[in-house]
Structure 1
């Protein structure tokens, strides 16, 4: 059953179908720039998808088939970032959104084409997997705006992109292409056009959605623990991993293997 819910006055749309969730930025006239309301509602949208709607994987994309996201909506800065106090509050909303993407229980896939700048780049970096087509362009123009990027978002970018390329992007503010950034390991794969990209993204999402949710959650948590060198997360991942041995899905997986059929996992 398909479920859809709009957030941030319709500029953030969450939908699920057959276990695959989509989180789409709908601000096409501004290259899908992320408004303050959108930043605040990203955690709510992810909770809707992963908890209320039962998504087993979430695809993050920009609407309109042109751009992923130009980042924060700078047209709002005169009000939402007019001074140090409001800027700090705005950055906190950014960080909360990045953390929600990073820590949501199910895997996230960024489907990137066109502009992927600033906060949009941060969203992509916080996702688990990233695929793009050749139209994609990446940049972090913070230094050209006279502001600093949130430190936790920088951590996501360093982990996803590597030290040297992160330095180049942050220090210069200059854009690079999908093919250039692919060599850093930031992208899982790059495709020649949007049709190939969408086909690959949904094939990957379908493969993930068909697997045991508890196993995927344990794997995601363990990967986070390793990449973030977090002993608390590692302990949580060990507990979650051990719990799979007593799950109904583990019994189903063994039965399906013995019976040479496709398993039906319920996340239990």
Structure 2
């Protein structure tokens, strides 16, 4: 249900299970994590995009048909939770910038998937809902913490307690997404804006925002690197830098 598409500096992890509104089965989380690792390991990759092949549904969340089997299988509940959280942790930890391009419905664990990325760009018809309260279940603590970090405790409580569906404009207003892109294809301008930038800068900035050790040395080292030399010369001569 996932595939990896690569073109130059951009690696796209595409969700392609439109018949099930891109709901992710338990085994799918491990497959997702594997593809994210593969995308991040490419030397050429400057940006990892997570998107859907179906413009009407980004991700409906976890596969409800499988969730029903968890009633009588305590061990599988643990497998499900750990596989899902492992995929999200890997997306957060990957050393390259990540962008979720969200078109159509984004519900439940689909919201968690989007939140695991560094940036979220929504199409104008996107909508969002965090729905565990409709099914008598809860939401993993790490995902709730990510939600609170993005939208604040009050809006997070509103979303999870009511399980209401909100449109893209409201998601932008409360901070669940950073941008609504009304052009076609959705997110193309942001993808180009990031992918054109210096690879060293993207790596160092991602590490710095994540609070990883050694980032001050990366700041110092950058001035001796090829990317700085190219970027500075391009600025001096009023041309577009070529970071290839």
| TM-score, with structure 2 as normaliser | 0.91
* 1:216 matched residue in structure 2: 202
* 1:238 matched residue in structure 2: 216
Which shows bigger deviation, 37-46 or 66-75? 37-46
Q: How many Å apart are 1:15 and its aligned residue?
A: 0.8
Q: Secondary structure at the match of 1:68?
A: strand
Residue 52 of structure 2 is aligned to residue 66 of structure 1: no
* 1:230 matched residue in structure 2: none
1:34-71 deviation per Cα after TM superposition (whole angstroms, max 9, x unaligned): 12222112221112112136221122111122110000
Q: Could you tell me which runs of 5 or more consecutive residues in structure 2 were left unpaired when the two chains were aligned.
A: none
Contact 1:28–1:63 under 8 Å retained in 2? yes
Higher helix share: 1
Residue correspondence of structure 1 range 143-154 to structure 2 within 5 A: 143-154=133-144
- Distance between the aligned counterparts of 2:71 and 2:32, measured in 1? 19
Contact 1:132–1:197 under 8 Å retained in 2? no
The verdict on how the C-alpha distance between 1:248 and 1:80 changes in structure 2, with shifts beyond 3 A counting, is farther
Q: Secondary structure at the match of 1:183?
A: helix
Counterpart of 1:252 (choices 216, 230, 240) is 230
Q: How many Å apart are 1:262 and its aligned residue?
A: 2.2
* 1:129 matched residue in structure 2: 119
Q: Secondary structure at the match of 1:29?
A: helix
Q: How many Å apart are 1:155 and its aligned residue?
A: 1.8
Counterpart of 1:83 (choices 70, 73, 79) is 73
* 2:22 matched residue in structure 1: 32
Q: How many residues align?
A: 244
Q: Secondary structure at the match of 1:148?
A: coil
Contact 1:32–1:63 under 8 Å retained in 2? no
Residue correspondence of structure 1 range 159-238 to structure 2 within 5 A: 159-192=149-182, 196-199=183-186, 201-225=187-211, 233=212, 235-238=213-216
Q: How many Å apart are 1:264 and its aligned residue?
A: 2.0
Q: Could you tell me which runs of 5 or more consecutive residues in structure 1 were left unpaired when the two chains were aligned.
A: 1-10, 226-232
For the aligned residue pairs, the C-alpha RMSD in angstroms reads 1.9
* 1:8 matched residue in structure 2: none
* 1:107 matched residue in structure 2: 97
